[in-house]
Amino acid sequence: MPAVMVEDVSRHFGDVVAVDRVNLSIGRGEFVTLLGPSGCGKTTTLRMVAGLEQNTAGRISIGDRVVSDAAAGFFVPPDHRQLGMVFQSYAIWPHMTVFDNVAYPLRIRRRSKAEISDRVRAVLRLVEMESFADRPAPALSGGQQQRVAIARALVFEPEVLLLDEPLSNLDARLRTQMGDEFRALQKRLGITSLYVTHDQEEAMALSDRVVVMESGRILQVGAPEEIYQRPASRAVAAFFGSPNLLDAKVTGCERQTDQKFKLGITGGNWTGQCLAGEPFSEGEPVLVLVRPENVHIAANEGAPMAWSGRIKSAIFRGPRQSIVVDAAGLALNVEAPALLGANVGDQVHLNVSPAGAWAIRPDRASSATA
């Protein structure tokens, strides 16, 4: 049985549809991330699971318990849902010490003093904040506040942990560190987590599954690698980085053993091969996704998909170099090793292997798959 079930859930604000018929099932111990640009409905979805917002249609269950059913007019308020939540602002109550903050959920549940003390100490040890227990909450740094917020959300062993962009207020280095630490802790405790972020790298590094949302709808659900390498639509493909999306025609299609299809394609002055998740018939138009890091700069022209052109711009980014190559009117983004030392004006050859190119139907601009 899944830990969280979201069935056909919508949220209307007057005429505006913030969340539109979302379906999602989260398994026990799973880490699922809602990813999308701001205003895509991801936070509203999280808040509906939390009970902070009431869904106007659909049904939400946590464990075996229905917590909200719009059709039946049934709604469990947030304080009866047994959840833990980490807020974007951390929401550390400034009039309490660290200990009091973490002890709050237990005190509300009228646990004994001894139990409260034991559990709070234990959970503070877990997030390495034990020595800060008696500090007043405002005297903490951002990273420390974040640990306290996590400790507070974990202290009464909630069925599900909800996290609303918990890392977005930290600086870049701390963000990565806290993210990794949290993921390790989550795996160790096996706690079901629903996480909201707009940061693609964060989503991919932390999650078991990523849910990509846009305009209140789910575009695609899948493992980070699948979402990144084998997107179902142009929108999902375009959401990560600055990919090359090439218009092409199918020249051949053959089924492979791993339920994928290998296509022969042509784009007018170039030809090549790529993979696809569904069969295409000959002559059909396709959109070919080529990630910039899958384009290789080579000394001489190779097969099966190749271009040659002149470097239009090159930006040094430290570990790598972002290059734009003008290949007979086609502007191709290339991520190359920094050691390559490419210069503007250089004539180069570009190769892409069939595994590095993925074909999608061009008309599937924004239709949903689950």
Binding residues for another protein, how many (CB under 8 A)? 45
State which residue, 74 or 316, has the beta carbon closest to another protein. Answer: 74
ω into 304 cis (within 30 of 0): yes
| Single residue of 2, 78, 267, 304 touching another protein by CB under 8 A | 78
State which residue, 152 or 230, has the beta carbon closest to another protein. Answer: 152
Residue 63 engages another protein in binding (rule: CB under 8 A): yes
Distance CA 162, CA 87 (A): 8
Residue 157 engages another protein in binding (rule: CB under 8 A): yes
Q: Which residues pair with 62 in a beta bridge?
A: 4, 65
By rule CB under 8 A, what string of x and - marks binding of each residue 83-102 to another protein?
xxx-xxxxx-xxx-------
* Residue 52: CB minimum distance to another protein, A: 5
- The Cα-based distances of 35 to 48, 127, 370 in angstroms read 16, 26, 14
Q: Is the backbone of residue 73 left (phi > 0), alpha (psi -120 to 50) or beta?
A: left
| Single residue of 4, 32, 60, 123 touching another protein by CB under 8 A | 123
Residue 125 engages another protein in binding (rule: CB under 8 A): yes
State which residue, 64 or 258, has the beta carbon closest to another protein. Answer: 64
State which residue, 29 or 304, has the beta carbon closest to another protein. Answer: 29
- The Cα-based distances of 71 to 7, 15, 57, 60 in angstroms read 12, 19, 7, 11
The alpha carbon of residue 182 and the mean position of all alpha carbons in its chain are separated, in whole angstroms, by 15
* Residue 76: CB minimum distance to another protein, A: 5
Residue 148 engages another protein in binding (rule: CB under 8 A): no
User: Which of the ranges 148-156, 196-204, 257-265, 355-363 carries the binding residues for another protein, by CB under 8 A?
Assistant: 148-156
* Residue 227: CB minimum distance to another protein, A: 28
* Residue 100: CB minimum distance to another protein, A: 10
SS3 183: helix
- List, in sequence order, every beta strand (DSSP E) within 27-62: 31-35, 57-62
State which residue, 94 or 252, has the beta carbon closest to another protein. Answer: 94
Residue 153 engages another protein in binding (rule: CB under 8 A): yes
User: Which of the ranges 72-80, 232-240, 302-310, 357-365 carries the binding residues for another protein, by CB under 8 A?
Assistant: 72-80
Where do we find the tokens 């974040």?
A: 146
* Residue 9: CB minimum distance to another protein, A: 18
State which residue, 88 or 271, has the beta carbon closest to another protein. Answer: 88
State which residue, 158 or 292, has the beta carbon closest to another protein. Answer: 158
Contact 3, 26 (CB under 8 A): yes
Contact 323, 341 (CB under 8 A): no
Residue 276 engages another protein in binding (rule: CB under 8 A): no
Where do we find the tokens 């991330």?
A: 33
Residue 298 engages another protein in binding (rule: CB under 8 A): no
Looking only at the bridges linking them, the beta strands covering 330-337 and 244-255 are unpaired
* Residue 173: CB minimum distance to another protein, A: 24
Distance CA 109, CA 131 (A): 25
Distance CA 368, CA 39 (A): 17
Nearest alpha carbon to residue 360 among 284, 272, 298: 284
State which residue, 80 or 113, has the beta carbon closest to another protein. Answer: 80
State which residue, 91 or 223, has the beta carbon closest to another protein. Answer: 91
Sheet of strand 217-222, all strands in order from the earlier edge strand to the far edge? 83-86, 160-164, 192-197, 31-35, 209-214, 217-222
Binding site for another protein (CB under 8 A): 50-52, 63-66, 74-85, 87-91, 93-95, 104-105, 108-109, 122-123, 125-126, 152-154, 156-157, 159, 162, 188-190
